[in-house]
A and B are shown apart, each in its own frame.
Chain A
């Protein structure tokens, strides 16, 4: 890149200080050349229009002996001539009288307006070079430190052992560095930001990774149910969307009932197979989102890594098998529906596919109360029980009664459970299982 362009962009436009080292690294030039470039830019810009660029210089050399500098140093420090030390008996007089004065070299950073003052304090000057350029005089030169720290961060990936020569670093032939231990990216001071940044790509990368698979899965499910090709790529709304075509094409009699179960069933089954609590909850979140708006499906997808993982974990065979069992169960359902619960009535009105309402006979009255205790679900549910009593006339009468029965997680989950659970559970489970929400909140 052209140095003038770079300097104009950074110093004049972005109004950032540029040190010779940051220039050297950005343009990959020798540090000494960077000093020249800074000098030239400073001169040419200020020739065009004075005071546009401000410079700081580094002077190295030896200061005058009387120490005119405002710092109270000791440039004239001498080796102490130690006459009879109080610690010592007189028989040890061998104190060395090394009177050669200690030379103190100075390396001083100075603003351009102070340059002449600073030079006056020097007895002999070895070098002067431009240290940095900045748009205006810096009230606090420590701002330059930040510029240098930026170098450390942005150029952390460049191996100093390889690039050092280019920058003009003193080389060392004997350097020992452990192999295989490349210094980690120097993002430590800004750990939070890069972490958040880094996590994003990773989740994004998981999304495409699982996407095709889920598509496949959904396609598979389609195939088992019907040969109807499906254009919907949605994976989250898998069962949701699949219900639509199936409702159109499935055999008339049980089709409507089956497809309404298809919404709930795979989800009910998946938890029992793999991850009971979190997946069911998160999948329900997905379901809700999907039902609300198709366009939003990408977001819950990318957020629901837990759900994604669970979905990915369930392999296709299991799905197929489940479909089969499901169908069987549907058949059984007709017969012994009294013991089983039907899909939740509460959910039904919200379903976007109201066409296929299940037969609204018994399940309508059944209720369930679920409490979550320590990650375990306990509750009561209303079950229809056959009761045989002797009536006043001495006949045995068998009646069906709705009774409450307590259950816990251990029992085989009734198929509609997950559909209901999110009401109690969704917020917590989503917070746990979803790593993106952790970063999202900050």
Chain B
């Protein structure tokens, strides 16, 4: 039964004397998280504000950019003998006049949850029921796209919109005329496009003691949707992942086929949400019932039954983290199913959840001291930060999932096949970058903290790696920004036609590990992507 091949290193008896194995050292990680999405704590966090401020701030921040783009493209443009005119406010659009105007997109969709409906029905839902889409594919006419600014609202129509996908909250400039119905016939649209991108290491160069070895390729590992349920059924691949990350298993270093797959190259693991699978208040009732233990109903305190709490998933996650942390630094983002607040930005999972792993976390911050990034860094969702000099912007996937509901996927009435679906998802991610807004549909259809003085979802500085967790399938793409030829731009890249200064973003749609067993590795020098997939071979035993 034993495999014949002695060619494999480990399929031979051990050598007589135990030779000292050379310890392998992991490359250091340069890490600088940003606190863009940290909410004020305690009394500083208010929920009384109106959400309108967020839209106002977003428009105020992005309107200059989009108007700049639009001016460049449309200034002096003459269509059918008529000169295109710029209109400052939506309300100033005159009927029959060719003009362009910038504003916020608002989409009214038949299936979209509407707070006014809830109020009028005196029916306060605790959470919007999950819907695959807000659109009604059978009747596209029910979808209304509008543009609004402080002054008013303008309905957009036209064939051009059919080929364009928009979502509520995006800031655009539209060119067209108002028709007899009072609708705005759109003939072209401009987006803010990619935000200015900083160079690698810009502003966060490592300390002089650490050299930036250009030839030394490191890896940033991404994983998402670990889906730990605490039962043994889901964790065999997790064990393999642990073994791999710790260097116990995997590729031998001298293999020419995989010079870069050695796990010692991985400098940091980023966990993008949904680390826990089952709800923590799992089927305890059924479990106890099956045990035959007739549990006396304890009196519930404040409606909370402590005995129904299933700590096992969190415990297993803690064990997993505590096992890999001695070797690899970890950035943990919460996700939809994780024990954090539900509305974006989700705040970091509290370290009290991780009695073992928290030893590696940063100590609790003193009164007004700046928080130092810990070896184990529990961060917000979405999250922004610098890893190995690259700017990362990522979300656990809620943003992409929600924008997808605004979009009618062509060809897919009910269940689009995986390829078009993941295609659409990566396109949405691209669109977000070009909208310069990471979570455009917040606060409309994604619950959000009511920011008042700022809209942090606006992407001020274009990231190098833009990732979204918990997608059904792994997908990646690289996009490049338009290299502006204008000389008066606020972007400092006028000299390069297609030089290295053009914004270049690696998009990553991270799959759910619990379903695919995939770990995504991104090269720190080239931003090339590799996948390591862990699985259990379904052999004869299962096929019986």
Is B a genuine binding partner of A?
A: yes
A residues near B (Cβ < 8 Å) are 20-21, 29-33, 35-37, 39-40, 42-43, 46, 50, 55, 57-62, 69-71, 73-75, 77, 79-80, 82, 85-89, 91-92, 94-96, 98, 100, 102-115, 117-118, 124-131, 137-139, 141-146, 148-149, 152, 160-161, 164-165, 167-178, 181-184, 186, 188-189
Cβ–Cβ contact B480 & A186, under 8 A: no
- Taking a contact as CB atoms under 8 Å apart, the answer to whether B375 and A176 are in contact is yes
- Is there an interface contact between B25 and A172, defined as CB atoms closer than 8 Å? yes
Report the bound CA distance from A112 to B358 in whole Å. 39
Shortest C-beta distance, B307 to chain A (Å), equals 13
Q: Let me know if B359 and A92 touch, CB within 8 A.
A: no
CB distance from A61 to the nearest CB of B (A): 7
Residues on B with beta carbons closer than 8 Å to the beta carbon of A85: 427, 430-431
Q: A85-B427, A127-B10 are in contact. List 12 more A-B contacts (CB 8 A).
A: A59-B537, A62-B258, A71-B538, A87-B431, A94-B482, A104-B530, A107-B250, A118-B537, A128-B8, A168-B21, A176-B360, A177-B360
Q: Is the pair A170, B535 in contact by a Cβ cutoff of 8 Å?
A: no
User: Cβ of A175: which chain B residues have Cβ within 8 Å of it?
Assistant: 325-327, 329, 360, 375
A-B contact pairs, 27 of them (CB 8 A): A21-B248, A32-B21, A36-B15, A39-B12, A50-B1, A74-B473, A79-B476, A86-B427, A87-B431, A89-B191, A106-B535, A107-B535, A108-B536, A118-B539, A126-B257, A127-B9, A128-B8, A129-B8, A131-B249, A142-B233, A144-B239, A145-B236, A164-B246, A167-B248, A169-B246, A170-B247, A189-B312
* Distance of A88 Cα from B480 Cα, bound (Å): 13
Pair B533/A107 contact, Cβ less than 8 Å: yes
Residues in A with CB closer than 8 Å to B473 are: 74
Q: Which of B195-203, B275-283, B315-323, B387-395 forms part of the interface with chain A? A: B315-323
Query: Is residue B371 contacting chain A, with contact meaning CB distance below 8 A?
Result: no
Closest 6 interchain pairs by CB? A114-B539, A36-B14, A129-B10, A170-B247, A110-B537, A160-B326
Say how far B36's CB is from chain A's closest CB, in angstroms.
23
Enumerate chain B interface residues (CB-CB to A < 8 A).
1-3, 5, 8-15, 18, 21, 23-26, 28-29, 73, 163-166, 188-191, 193, 232-233, 235-236, 239-240, 243-244, 246-252, 255, 257-258, 261, 263-264, 311-312, 315-316, 318-319, 322-323, 325-329, 355-356, 358-361, 363, 374-375, 423, 426-427, 430-431, 434, 473-483, 502, 504, 516, 518, 528-541
On whether the beta carbons of A171 and B25 are closer than 8 Å, the reply is yes
Q: Nearest A residue to B264 by beta-carbon distance? A: A170
Q: Are B537 and A21 interface neighbours, CB within 8 A?
A: no
Are B252 and A126 in touch, CB under 8 angstroms? yes
A29 to chain B: which residues have CB within 8 Å?
18
- A113-B540, A152-B319 as given contacts; A168 in contact with B248, CB under 8 Å: yes
B522: shortest Cβ distance to chain A, in Å?
11
Determine if A31 and B248 form an interchain contact, defined as CB atoms under 8 angstroms apart. yes
Contacts of B251 in A (CB 8 A): 60, 105, 126-127
Chain B positions within 8 Å of A141 at CB level: 236, 536
How far in angstroms is the closest Cβ of chain A from B529? 5
Using known A-B contacts A129-B10, A168-B247, A173-B28, determine if residue A113 contacts B539 with beta carbons closer than 8 Å: yes
The residue from B482, B528, B534, B538 contacting A107, defined by CB atoms under 8 A apart = B534
In angstroms, Cα B15 to Cα A105, docked, is 29
Q: Establish whether residues B359 and A182, one from each chain, have CB atoms under 8 Å apart when the complex forms.
A: yes
Contacts of A43 in B (CB 8 A): 2, 13
Are B531 and A42 interface neighbours, CB within 8 A?
no
Assess the B257–A124 pair: CB atoms within 8 A.
Answer: yes
Q: Are B258 and A170 in contact (CB under 8 A)?
A: no
Nearest A residue to B504 by beta-carbon distance? A96
Closest to B476 in A: A79
Q: Are A183 and B482 in contact (CB under 8 A)?
A: no
Out of A86, A104, A130, name the residue touching B533 (CB < 8 Å): A104
Residue of A98, A111, A178, A188 touching B359 (CB-CB under 8 A): A178
- Nearest-neighbor residue (CB-CB) of A153 within chain B: B319
A117 touches B539 (CB 8 A): yes
A174 with B537, Cβ < 8 A, contacts A46-B1, A74-B473, A102-B530 known: no
Interface centre among A94, A105, A173 (most CB of B within 10 A): A105
How far apart sit A129 and B541, CA to CA, in the bound complex (Å)? 20
With contacts A60-B251, A112-B1, A172-B328 taken as known, whether A105 is within 8 angstroms of B258 at the C-beta atoms is yes
Residues of B within 8 A of A139 (CB): 541
Given known A-B contacts A85-B427, A127-B250, A129-B10, A170 and B26 have beta carbons under 8 A apart: yes
**Residue in contact with A73 in the complex, picked from B323, B326, B355, B533, CB distance below 8 Å:** B533
With A74-B473, A102-B530, A105-B531 known to touch, is A33 a contact of B504 (CB < 8 Å)? Answer: no
Chain B residues near A127 (CB, 8 Å)? 8-10, 249-252, 255
List the A side residues contacting B356 at CB < 8 Å: 183-184, 186
Q: Pick the contact of B261: A33, A105, A142, A184 (CB < 8 A).
A: A105
Give CA–CA (A62, B258) in the complex, Å.
Answer: 9
Contact B327 A170 (CB under 8 A): yes
- When the two chains form their complex, are residues A178 and B239 in contact, meaning their CB atoms are under 8 A apart? no
B481 contacts which chain A residues (CB < 8 A)? 94
A142 touches B236 (CB 8 A): yes
CB–CB B531/A107 < 8 A: no
CB neighbours (8 Å) of A111 from chain B are 537, 539-541
CA distance A111 to B1 in the complex (A): 11
Complex contact A36–B480 (CB within 8 A): no
Q: Is the CB of B14 within 8 A of A40?
A: yes
> How far is the CB of A161 from the nearest CB of chain B, in Å?
5
Shortest beta-carbon distance from B109 to chain A in Å: 18
Question: For residue A100, which residues in chain B have a CB less than 8 angstroms away from its CB?
Answer: 528
Given the complex of chains A and B, what is the CA–CA distance between A130 and B264 in angstroms?
Answer: 21
Interface centre among B9, B239, B534 (most CB of A within 10 A): B239
Instruction: Point out the residues of chain A lying under 8 angstroms from B255, CB to CB.
Output: 126-127
**B480 lies within 8 A of A94 (CB):** yes
| Distance of A87 Cα from B170 Cα, bound (Å) | 12
* Cross-chain contact B530 with A105 (CB below 8 angstroms): yes
Query: For residue B540, which residues in chain A have a CB less than 8 angstroms away from its CB?
Result: 111, 113-114
Taking a contact as CB atoms under 8 Å apart, the answer to whether A95 and B480 are in contact is yes
* Chain B residue contacts of A30, Cβ below 8 A: 18, 21
Judging by beta carbons under 8 Å apart, are A60 and B249 in contact?
yes
Contact of A177 with B375 at beta-carbon distance under 8 Å, contacts A60-B251, A74-B474 already known: yes
- Nearest Cβ on chain B to A57's Cβ, whole angstroms: 8
Q: How far is the CA of A48 from the CA of B494 in the complex (A)?
A: 77
Answer whether A109 and B240 are a contact pair too, CB < 8 Å, given A124-B257, A137-B541, A171-B26. Answer: yes
Q: Kindly report which residue of chain A lies nearest to residue B72, judged by CB atoms.
A: A91
Residues of B within 8 A of A178 (CB): 359-361, 363
Question: A126: which B residues are within 8 A, CB to CB?
Answer: 250-252, 255, 257-258, 261
Instruction: Please state if B3 and A128 are interface contacts (CB–CB under 8 Å).
Output: yes
Q: Name the contact of A87 in the complex, choosing from B164, B319, B480, B530 (C-beta under 8 A).
A: B164
| Given A35-B10, A88-B434, A109-B536: A165 in contact with B23 (beta carbons within 8 A) | yes
Nearest residue in B to A179 (C-beta to C-beta)? Answer: B359
Q: Quick check: B537 and A109 within 8 Å, CB to CB?
A: yes
The answer to whether B479 touches A103, judged by C-beta atoms less than 8 angstroms apart, is no
| Minimum distance in angstroms from B251 CB to a CB of chain A | 5
Q: B8 — which chain A residues lie within 8 A by C-beta?
A: 125, 127-129
Q: How far is the CB of B455 from chain A (nearest CB, A)?
A: 21
